[in-house]
Each structure stands twice: as C-alpha cells, then as structure tokens.
C-alpha cells in the first residue's frame, strides 16, 4: 500500500529491528537449492545468531553440515522430510527439529511454498556436560503453560530445559488483549517471527504495530513488551540464548 510511495514499517537500529515480509530480499546460501532464503538476522545486524527464512519451490532442498553451528528449524507452513543422521521424519506445519553442532541435517521433498524458519548459533560447550542430542518433534504435542500464571499468555518451550542447551526456542500464544506482564529487560537476545495474529511490540522506546510474518531482533537488554490485538489470538516463535555463565 503506502510502500508504493517508499514507506515501510521496517525499522533497523543498533539495538533492535523489525523486518516485514514486503522487505524480503533473497540470498544464495551454500546447501540451499530450489528455494528462496532470506537472512533476516545475523552478525551483520549485531546479533550473535542467525535467523533465516527458507521458502521452497518444487524439488527444493536444504542440507547443511556446519561443524560448530547448531540449527533449530520450524516448519511455519507446508511440510517436507526432515533428516538428522539416521532420524527421518515427514513433517507438516508446526514440526520442528534441533540439529546439534557437527551433525548434518537436511530438509527435502518439500510441498511447494513450504516455509522453514531456521535459527542458528555457534554452540558453547559446558565443562562436564555432554552435547545435546538431535530432536525432531511436532509442537502440537508440546504442552503449554500459562506464563507467570496468566491464562491469556501461553508458553510452549520446544527444547528441553537442560544445561546442555545454550539456546531455547519457544512459542508464545496470546488471547486478544493478552500481554507480557511487565516490560522485560534481560541479558538474553531474541529473534522472533509472528506466526499468527497481530499486536503491538514495544522495543526500547518505540511501539510497533506487528502482524503475521513480521520478524523482530532484540539485542541483549532491549526493553520489550507485547500486547495482542484484534479478534483472534496472536502467536510468535522466538529464540533466546540460555544457560551460560555471565562471565
């Protein structure tokens, strides 16, 4: 609409960013073929992880084998075959996987138009703690809990809450009017995609209208708050770094 005249809801600053689907520009990435890949967040932005959206055409595939990098993939829409080592699973929207650092994974035989969101981070090992194992699962089977007791804000934690993991990926679902109970300020960094619905995100001292498909980066200590708006629930998938020493 107003983009015809060169305006956009996108906003990039040194401490937070909002990118909407109409801002996307593809990159070619080794290991990804027959697909459009958009690097939404990475070190060039100031982040300590990467968030990439892959949209598959017929016959497309993604296959990565990065020695230090762990990957979480979440099927936003469509489906395909997830393979990690000897584990193989047909997936549909809501499936996700965790591939530990050094373990090859692939996403093949996608339905045309399948969207796969990737979160990637260099793994930070913990002395005396073994590395996490691969996971392929359906988020529909993950029980949600009311966030800090609020039934209007439901949190699903997709990965085990164990010290071996140095990242977390969660789904947060809000009833219309549901909101974060307070303005969070924390050391953990976030990458986020709106899976459904709409609302307003406060990032530092700015308030942004957001809707399905929008992506947000929050640097460590970025003040943050969200309220869901509209007639239907809003939900987002988000990344954070966890479980490592402060110094």
Contacting residues toward ligand UGY, per CB under 6 A? 172, 180, 184, 190, 224, 240
Contact 172/147 with Cβ under 8 angstroms? yes
Binding partner at 172 among ligand UGY, Mn ion, none, C-beta below 5 to 8 Å by kind: ligand UGY
Q: Is 204 in the site for Mn ion (CB under 5 A)?
A: no
Task: Output Rg (C-alpha) for the chain, integer angstroms.
Answer: 17
Nearest residue (CB) to ligand UGY, 83 versus 139: 139
Residue in the block written with tokens 């990965």: 159
Q: Which is nearer to ligand UGY, 31 or 220 (CB)?
A: 220
Q: Which residue from 160, 62, 67, 194 is spatially nearest to 116, judged by alpha carbons?
A: 62
Q: How far is the CB of 217 from Mn ion (least distance, A)?
A: 12
State in angstroms the smallest separation of the CB of 151 from ligand UGY. Answer: 16
Among positions 157-196, residues that touch Mn ion (CB under 5 A) are 184
Q: Which of 181, 230, 186 is nearest to 210 (CA)?
A: 230
Of 67, 61, 55, 66, which Cα lies nearest the Cα of 27?
55
Tell whether residue 87 is a contact of Mn ion (CB under 5 A): no
138 binds Mn ion (CB under 5 A): no
Among 208, 219, 50, 197, CA closest to 119: 50
Name the DSSP class of 65. Answer: -
Mark residue 4 as left, alpha or beta (left: phi above 0; alpha: psi -120 to 50; beta: remaining): alpha
Q: Which of residues 64 and 216 has its CB atom nearest to Mn ion in the complex? A: 216
51 close to 118: Cβ distance less than 8 angstroms: yes
Residue 121's binding partner out of ligand UGY, Mn ion, none, with CB under 5 to 8 Å set by partner kind: none
We find the least distance from the C-beta atom of residue 240 to ligand UGY, in angstroms, to be 6
Output 16 or 190, the one with its CB closest to ligand UGY.
Answer: 190
Closest to Mn ion by CB, 93 or 152: 152
Residues found near Mn ion in the complex (CB under 5 A): 184
């Amino acid at each position: 609409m107003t983009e015809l005249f060169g305006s956009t809801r996108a906003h990039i600053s040194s401490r937070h960013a909002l990118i909407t689907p109409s801002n996307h520009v593809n990159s070619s990435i080794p290991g990804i073929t027959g697909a459009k890949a958009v690097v939404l967040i990475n070190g060039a932005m100031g982040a300590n992880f990467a968030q990439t959206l892959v949209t598959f055409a017929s016959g497309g595939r993604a296959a990565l084998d990065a020695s230090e990098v762990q990957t979480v993939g979440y099927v936003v829409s469509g489906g395909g075959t997830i393979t990690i080592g000897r584990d193989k699973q047909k997936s549909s929207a809501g499936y996700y996987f965790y591939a530990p650092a050094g373990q090859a994974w692939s996403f093949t035989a996608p339905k045309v138009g399948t969207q796969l969101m990737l979160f990637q981070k260099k793994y930070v090992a913990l002395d005396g703690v073994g590395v996490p194992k691969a996971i392929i699962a359906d988020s529909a089977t993950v029980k949600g809990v009311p966030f800090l007791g609020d039934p209007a804000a439901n949190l699903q934690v997709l990965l085990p809450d164990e010290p071996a993991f140095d990242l977390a990926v969660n789904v947060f679902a809000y009833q219309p009017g549901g909101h974060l109970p307070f303005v969070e300020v924390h050391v953990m960094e976030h990458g986020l995609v709106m899976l459904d619905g709409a609302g307003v995100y406060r990032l530092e001292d700015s308030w942004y209208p957001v809707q399905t498909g929008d992506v947000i980066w929050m640097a460590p200590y970025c003040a943050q708050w969200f309220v869901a708006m509209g007639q239907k629930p809003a939900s987002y998938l988000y990344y954070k770094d966890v479980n490592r020493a402060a110094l």
